[in-house]
Amino acid sequence: MGRYVPNTKEEQLKMLNEIGYKDFDDLFSVIPESVRLKDLKLEEGKSELETATIISNMAAKNKQYKAIYRGAGAYDHYIPSIVKQITSKEEFVTAYTPYQAEISQGILQSIFEYQTAICQLTGMDVSNACVYDGGTAAAEACAMCKDRKHSVMYISESTDPKVVSVIKTYCFGSNTEVKMVPVKDGVTDLDKAKEMMTEGAACLYIQQPNFFGQIEDSHKAADIAHGIGAKLIMGCNPMSLAIMETPREAGADIAVGEGQPLGLPIAFGGPYVGFMACVSDMMRKIPGRIVGQTEDHDGNRAFVLTLQAREQHIRREKASSNICSNEALCAMTVSVYLAAVGKAGLTEAAKQCVSKSHYLLSELEKVGLKRTYNGEFFHEFVTTASVPADKILAALEAKNILGGYKLSDNEILWCVTEKNTKASMDEVVAIVKEVCA
């Protein structure tokens, strides 16, 4: 922004001090020192070609694994080449936000198709035109449930910790109370939730499947929330919705999640896209925007911005969201991916996730790992080993395989997708067997 909002180093430091930071290093102190880039150490006087070669050599140091068995919020799925081919077209890449609907029909249609796909996946009545990511979607959904009589958010501890962190950050900013519902046997302790929730409850948030890969009893969760006058928010893995019941069928009022599994590469953590859908009764509270279909004066199909709940469009104090950027390119990527694989392709990918993950678990159990939780799961599961998790993961990395996510000294959260072959899984089992022996 330097070229648009000029200011001196002294002015920048004064702004940092005003918000409580000593300097720029203090501002970014939450980023581990080991991954902070302070100096590229480039020699002076290098040509563009020489500089590009140096940077390419630096990039070559990045590790590329031949197989990935880690999920925990970001998933390695197959992306047909046509997805990138279409979304890389300059008319999509360069288009920003459709302020002038009459000349933005193509972008508006792509958003409309995205909304339609999300409604089909979730079973909900209305979808917005997406938000930043899954964590933001969860936090915005909680805000949708708050009113004068209902202001306490109940969040299951089986939710992805990163999502919980975003929810708590939003709630801190709005002075909203958050209460965590404990976990029992790898799933939300719904009996405890019923005991904890009072008439001031705004919502109950559960993740389906949850962070440990387990399937939650969403119907019971819905009964508990609705019984006290609260809403049920369900955080979903969109890939699982191809074979599981929809959030609407499960009793949820709002469905949110991370759309990354649907055509977006892992890509160092972003950019991703958060989806949000809800029942019609809550449509007026949904943040962001909704694109609707209509007819022009000649009777032709046309698209308009039906709902705009951003502070740029309405009075700031009445806005339900301050999301100002546009994730339309990521949303369109989801639409193109779903169109490319089709209903049958998405279902097949989901089925392979289930069958392959259950195969890997059964084989790991044969070589000494124990299944930590016994409930049903989609494509993630937790194992406990008699040897340190670090030792198993290091042995896999030595063979160029990214193992599961370490939960504790002896626990690993594994993830399997349609990309993992039987030969690759058998290699993982053989390595684990050797380590455990």
Q: Give residue-wise pLDDT tens across range 245-263.
A: 999 999 999 999 999 999 9
Residue 166: pLDDT above 90? Answer: yes
Number of domains in the chain: 2
Residue-averaged pLDDT of the chain: 91
Residue where one domain finishes, among candidates 291, 317, 337: 337
% pLDDT > 90, the chain? 72
Q: Which is it for strands 231-236 and 254-258: parallel, antiparallel or unpaired?
A: parallel
Beta carbons within 8 Å of 400's beta carbon, 6+ residues apart = 65, 66, 67
Q: Which two tokens stand for residue 199?
A: 């008439």
Of 363, 380, 382, whose CA–CA distance to 372 is shortest? Answer: 382
The CATH number of the domain holding residue 330 is: 3.40.640.10
Residue 116, domain extent: 81-337
Beta carbons within 8 Å of 196's beta carbon, 6+ residues apart = 154, 179, 181
User: Does one domain contain both 411 and 298?
Assistant: no
The CATH number of the domain holding residue 417 is: 3.90.1150.10
Residue where one domain finishes, among candidates 312, 337, 362: 337
Residue 436: pLDDT above 80? Answer: yes
Q: What is the CA radius of gyration of the chain?
A: 23
Note the helical H segments in 211-290. 218-227, 247-250
Beta carbons within 8 Å of 35's beta carbon, 6+ residues apart = none
pLDDT the model gives residue 106: 83
pLDDT the model gives residue 398: 96
Between 35-39, 129-133, 193-197, the lowest mean confidence (pLDDT) is in: 35-39
Residue 288: pLDDT above 90? Answer: no
Between 121-135, 136-150, 304-318, the lowest mean confidence (pLDDT) is in: 304-318
Q: Which residue has the higher pLDDT, 68 or 41?
A: 68
Q: Per residue in 99-113, pLDDT tens?
A: 676 777 888 898 899
* 153 assigned to some structural domain: yes
User: Does one domain contain both 321 and 432?
Assistant: no
pLDDT the model gives residue 1: 43
Peptide bond just before 209 cis, omega within 30 deg: yes
Residue where one domain finishes, among candidates 319, 337, 355: 337
pLDDT the model gives residue 358: 98
Task: Output the DSSP codes for 298-318.
Answer: TS-EEEEEEEE-BTTTS-GGG
Q: Which residue has the higher pLDDT, 237 or 290?
A: 237
Task: Output the DSSP codes for 369-395.
Answer: -EES--S-BSSEEEEE-SS-HHHHHHH
User: Does one domain contain both 320 and 357?
Assistant: no
